[in-house]
Structure 1
């Protein structure tokens, strides 16, 4: 069990690094979106490529941050049942959900997406829109994001089993620490303070 918990910590660390890097894509997406709007307003010019890069960045944020959301227990839950369960009951529900819903869904999406991505790379698929971008880079995000989500699902499964075995504290317990938004704001403030020095 100790080795599995170390694996879980490694997965958590990996997804934490990936998500914190992907947070910066939100800023980039905002800059691109704002620049596109200003150029369209001032010069009456628009580019499908600029619109598509916004979609690509949004897809990257969504796919790369989903595992972190699962790790931080910020994903959507149905509180009608879970609000009445004990911590052990939550852990059992999470184990069942991971084994029978999350992991099979992730494996199915990976299995179905790989041939589409291979074909997209093979033909160097381009957007059907005039001035659009190539499609395979954004499609590659599917297996990357879902592989990270599968790894996080395994990590959460390990933590729930370890909790039921009495090896760790309740992984569903939310500490009163900063939210993801507060963490991002603090990281941006720290980066600005570093630049000012």
Structure 2
């Protein structure tokens, strides 16, 4: 059982790192938007590269926020039913959901995302706009990168459910704390 605890805590740590990176990207995105607004309206200066950086950073926020949301139970589901279930029922639902949906979905996204990023790299794809960002493969490579961390978060859902079923953890204490601490 100790190896499950270590695996669960290690996988949880990876998801929290994803959450920290998503938070950092959100702060950078807010600073980028602030710069764009000030540059445009105060100085009549528009930077295509900075505008494109906004959606690059938003992509990082969204994609790396997924593993963190899975770890902290912040994802979407029908909580009207889920909240009233026992921890054992929640554990079974989460375990089956992770094995049947999260991990296979992450695998598919990883396989297709890798091809997507590799094609962009091989083409030397960049922005279609003058003054835009080059090397579009960099942001596209976040897709398979995130698929890996989503799969680890799915595995973390399984290990956490095993710990709940063993009586080592509960959903109310672990996930209500949430946070990036």
> What TM-score results when the alignment is normalised by the length of structure 1?
0.83
Q: Would you say 1:162 and 2:169 are equivalent positions?
A: no
Report how many residues are paired. Answer: 180
Q: Would you say 1:145 and 2:146 are equivalent positions?
A: yes
Query: Which segments of structure 1 move beyond 3 Å, counting only runs of 4 or more?
Result: 171-177
For 1:126, the equivalent position in structure 2 comes to: 126
Q: How does 1:1-197 map to 2 (within 5 A)?
A: 1-134=1-134, 135-166=136-167, 168-174=168-174, 177=177, 180=179
| CA displacement at 1:140 relative to structure 2 | 0.9
- What is the CA–CA distance in structure 2 between the aligned matches of 1:71 and 1:65, rounded to whole Å? 10
| CA displacement at 1:175 relative to structure 2 | 6.0
| CA displacement at 1:83 relative to structure 2 | 3.0
Contact 1:73 1:172 in 2 (8 A): no
- What is the CA–CA distance in structure 1 between the aligned matches of 2:133 and 2:33, rounded to whole Å? 16
Q: Which blocks of at least 5 consecutive residues in structure 2 are unaligned?
A: none
Contact 1:4 1:158 in 2 (8 A): yes
The CA RMSD over aligned residues, in Å, is: 2.0
- What is the CA–CA distance in structure 2 between the aligned matches of 1:176 and 1:103, rounded to whole Å? 24
- What is the CA–CA distance in structure 2 between the aligned matches of 1:64 and 1:53, rounded to whole Å? 16
In the TM superposition, what whole-angstrom CA distance separates every residue of 1:17-56 from its partner, at most 9, and x where no partner exists? 3322331222211111111111111222212211110111
Alignment CA distance shift 1:176-1:74 (3 Å): closer
Deviates more, 1:146-155 or 1:4-13: 4-13
Alignment CA distance shift 1:147-1:175 (3 Å): closer
| CA displacement at 1:15 relative to structure 2 | 2.3
Q: Which blocks of at least 5 consecutive residues in structure 1 are unaligned?
A: 185-197
- What is the CA–CA distance in structure 2 between the aligned matches of 1:86 and 1:176, rounded to whole Å? 15
